[in-house]
């Protein structure tokens, strides 16, 4: 039966002249008469009726009727789903909230937590650094994290689609895409090097343990040689190397450093001298991109399952390495170097700047990944809770990793008889030189090496998944038609192939120079500018009251007063402080003793500016295409939210997002839910109140 006020189903019905349909008795079979081919024109309502007519005759309609419960009519379900499940059938959702939390943890917890934070903490006052670090986490990190998660979740759009909130600033989304592209290119090269070391560790003796390899130089001195000579277990050979070790000379080069520089990289003497492509690294780069693609082949549906392992197993490895490290001689000395507070350094601006920068970059703010991952949440998910959990987990992981790193470094410093500061390092130097060398001192060193590099691979993959998904989601959301939604796998493949091809130069003999150049410039001050503009545009152009109402609609409660104050005043001020600090503390990039030439630094600045320039360039483009007689009118129109801004699903468009002008009968129709007691025929509302429904039928 159809609702009272609907036209009868016995033939075409004109929307302008509705007729009432009588209820069919329950014991009578439901049937639709054949459609007449003599109608002068076929309206949209007639087309819909014909679809349902064919569905009934094919036996599909009774099956759907049997599956639906009385609760359907109450929650507005459409015939394609048994209940209204708060799911976006078009884009997809996470399988459950654990998948989202684990993915976000894997995204935020990356290589920087292991190779950057412990060194920063040691260099900036040890335990005293924790104070400004957690202050910045509370006043900048968590608020920005919550803002990006709520932004993406409310609109269910990627880093481009969310800027329907203020079309003039859509260039911020393009800037995020550029940043994610740069990071995704070089980040997978780091993962490929970790793959190479992982495969090289599958041996009885690690290739960087001794100095008897063809690539070693006369200056090479192994810590194993030094330990054996000191214990008198080997003849007193190479005394010069031993004296270099014990007298803290700067002439010693470790076998791990020579393995890294002379064998793995075959490092050239200049950034412009590319030399040959290192085929082993190229092969590992292909492996890493294949792994990333396979894990994302079905989007969040497949990556959400992979993160159960990739986001949790690194903690297992960290714990194993921690337990092994703290039981070693000299580990306590290394940990004390890591934690001993130097309170006088709290008064230095550099310490606070480093703390703010580390929080900002570690959480992945302004990369676009947080917005993208949150866009696959269900609309009413408590992203406030998630942002607190993920942010604290990320920072706790950084602190925990410091114990793992410095316990082993303290052990190696004790073996060499040198200060811990002599063996402490950060970045690739820590991951591929200092720490691997320390592992050679442990029994069954290949096992510990395998675990360490496997952990690095998983940490890198967790971040790489989100970087690639950010780009793919932005492209698919921007195009937005059914064809590209069905071909999303091919979009993912295309982005992965492009990333592999662009990463090939980084596997050459000058690749490490370019990798560090991209790391230092592509994602530095540009991220700060992007984040600052995002805060200002949401809080002051869209309006803080409107945004707080959006969050209340989504979560059921407004953001806490603390977050309201941080978003409006504190966080933008801290972001501006980070920008000023970055400019003041700027030093030309170097790698070991190599000074980058001016033209290379200029390329670095161009990479940084390329993401920032997206903002003013797109703003000019938007102003040119916006209606208005004067510039001021165009500016006002370009900063107003577009008509399709708001929750993605019609069921969530309530309050000020509820449709105010109903579509005409020619534009849409209302699909009524089937009831087990009475079959209903979908018709166009006689009062013009028909609505568009997102349905799979």
> How far apart are the C-alpha atoms of 179 and 306, rounded to whole Å?
25
Instruction: Evaluate whether residue 5 is within a structural domain.
Output: no
Instruction: Evaluate whether residue 449 is within a structural domain.
Output: yes
Residues whose CB falls within 8 Å of the CB of residue 86, separated by 6 or more in sequence, listed in order: 378, 379, 380, 649, 651, 652
Structural domain tally of the chain? 1
Contact call for residues 311 and 457 (beta carbons, < 8 A) = no
Instruction: Evaluate whether residue 518 is within a structural domain.
Output: yes
What pLDDT is recorded for position 662? 53
What pLDDT is recorded for position 237? 37
Instruction: Evaluate whether residue 492 is within a structural domain.
Output: yes
Q: What is the pTM assigned to this prediction?
A: 0.80
What pLDDT is recorded for position 481? 86
CA distances from 241 to 223, 391, 412, 439 (A): 10, 46, 17, 20
Return the exposure string of 281-297: e unless at least 16 CB atoms fall within 10 Å of the residue's CB, then b.
bbebbbebbebbbebbe
- Structural domain containing residue 467: 99-212+253-625
Instruction: Evaluate whether residue 62 is within a structural domain.
Output: no
Instruction: Evaluate whether residue 225 is within a structural domain.
Output: no
What pLDDT is recorded for position 18? 37
With tokens 């200029």, the residue in question is 602
What pLDDT is recorded for position 81? 37
Structure-block tokens of residue 633: 């009118």
CA distances from 207 to 61, 528, 572 (A): 68, 41, 49
- 10-residue averages of pLDDT along the chain (697 residues): 38 39 40 42 46 45 38 35 60 93 96 91 89 94 97 96 96 97 96 97 94 92 63 38 42 87 95 95 98 95 95 96 94 92 88 90 93 96 97 96 94 90 86 93 94 96 96 93 91 97 97 95 89 96 96 96 97 92 88 93 95 96 93 95 93 87 45 40 37 37
* Angle, helices 383-416/97-108, rounded to nearest 10 degrees: 40
Instruction: Evaluate whether residue 228 is within a structural domain.
Output: no
Nearest CA among 397, 400, 401, 408 for reference residue 326 = 408
DSSP-derived secondary structure for 475-486: HHHHH-SHHHHH
Contact call for residues 530 and 366 (beta carbons, < 8 A) = yes
Q: What is the CATH number of the domain that holds 401?
A: 1.20.1740
Q: Is the alpha carbon torsion for 85, 545, 146, 360 positive or negative?
A: positive
Annotated binding site: 106, 108-109, 113, 362, 394, 459
What pLDDT is recorded for position 686? 35
Instruction: Evaluate whether residue 516 is within a structural domain.
Output: yes
Annotated binding site for Na(+): 106, 108-109, 113, 362, 394, 459
DSSP-derived secondary structure for 514-525: HHHHHHHHTTSH
């Amino acid at each position: 039966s159809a609702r009272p006020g609907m036209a009868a189903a016995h033939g075409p019905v004109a929307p302008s002249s509705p007729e009432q349909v009588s209820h069919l008795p329950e014991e009578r079979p439901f049937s639709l008469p054949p459609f007449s081919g003599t109608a002068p024109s076929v309206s949209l309502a007639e087309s819909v009726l014909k679809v349902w007519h064919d569905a009934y005759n094919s036996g599909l309609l009774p099956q759907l009727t049997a599956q639906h419960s009385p609760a359907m009519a109450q929650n507005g379900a459409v015939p394609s789903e048994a209940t209204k499940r708060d799911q976006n059938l078009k884009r997809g959702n996470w399988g459950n909230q654990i998948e989202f939390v684990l993915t976000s943890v894997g995204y935020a917890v990356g290589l920087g937590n292991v190779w950057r934070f412990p060194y920063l903490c040691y260099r900036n006052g040890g335990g005293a650094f924790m104070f400004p670090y957690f202050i910045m986490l509370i006043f900048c990190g968590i608020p920005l994290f919550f803002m990006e998660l709520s932004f993406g979740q409310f609109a269910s759009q990627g880093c481009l689609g969310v800027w329907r909130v203020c079309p003039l600033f859509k260039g911020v989304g393009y800037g995020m895409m550029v940043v994610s592209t740069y990071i995704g290119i070089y980040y997978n090269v780091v993962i490929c090097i970790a793959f190479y070391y992982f495969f090289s560790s599958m041996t009885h003796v690690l290739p960087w343990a001794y100095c008897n390899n063809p690539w070693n130089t006369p200056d090479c001195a192994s810590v194993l040689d030094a330990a054996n000579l000191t214990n008198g277990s080997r003849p007193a050979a190479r005394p010069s190397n031993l004296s270099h070790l014990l007298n803290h000379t700067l002439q010693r080069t470790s076998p791990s450093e020579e393995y890294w520089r002379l064998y793995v990289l075959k490092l050239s003497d200049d950034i412009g001298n590319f030399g040959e492509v290192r085929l082993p690294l190229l092969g590992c780069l292909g492996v890493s991109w294949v792994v990333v693609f396979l894990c994302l082949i079905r989007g969040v549906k497949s990556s959400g399952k992979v993160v159960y392992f990739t986001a949790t197993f690194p903690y297992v490895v960290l714990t194993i390495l921690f337990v092994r490290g703290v039981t070693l001689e000299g580990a306590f000395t290394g940990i004390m170097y890591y934690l001993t507070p130097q309170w006088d350094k709290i008064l230095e601006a550099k310490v606070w700047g480093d703390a703010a920068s580390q929080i900002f970059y570690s959480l992945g703010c302004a990369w676009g990944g947080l917005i993208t991952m949150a866009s696959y949440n269900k609309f009413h998910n408590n992203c406030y809770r998630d942002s607190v959990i993920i942010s604290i987990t990320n920072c706790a992981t950084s602190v925990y990793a410091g114990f793992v790193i410095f316990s082993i470094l303290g052990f190696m410093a004790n073996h060499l008889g040198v200060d811990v500061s002599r063996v402490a390092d950060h970045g690739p130097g820590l991951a591929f030189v200092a720490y691997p060398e320390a592992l050679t001192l442990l029994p069954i060193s290949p096992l510990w090496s395998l675990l360490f590099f496997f952990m690095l691979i998983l940490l890198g993959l967790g971040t790489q998944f989100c970087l690639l998904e950010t780009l793919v989601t932005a492209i698919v959301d921007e195009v937005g038609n059914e064809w590209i939604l069905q071909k999303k796998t091919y979009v993912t493949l295309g982005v992965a192939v492009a990333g592999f091809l662009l990463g090939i130069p980084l596997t050459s003999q000058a690749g490490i120079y370019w990798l560090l150049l991209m790391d230092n410039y592509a994602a530095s001050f540009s991220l700060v500018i992007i984040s600052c503009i995002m805060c200002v545009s949401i809080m002051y152009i869209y309006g803080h009251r409107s945004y707080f109402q959006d969050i209340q609609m989504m979560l059921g409660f407004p953001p806490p007063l603390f977050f309201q104050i941080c978003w409006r005043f504190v966080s933008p001020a801290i972001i501006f402080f980070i920008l000023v600090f970055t400019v003041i503390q700027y030093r030309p990039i170097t790698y070991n003793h190599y000074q980058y030439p001016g033209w290379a630094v200029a390329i670095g600045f161009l990479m940084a500016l390329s993401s920032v320039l997206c903002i003013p360039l797109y703003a000019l483009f938007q102003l040119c295409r916006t209606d208005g007689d004067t510039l001021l009118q165009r500016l006002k129109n370009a900063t107003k939210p577009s008509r399709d801004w708001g929750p993605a699903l019609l069921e969530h468009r309530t309050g000020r997002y509820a449709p105010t002008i109903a579509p005409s009968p020619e534009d849409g129709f209302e699909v009524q839910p089937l009831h087990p007691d009475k079959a209903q025929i979908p018709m166009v509302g006689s009062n013009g109140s028909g609505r568009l429904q997102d349905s799979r039928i």
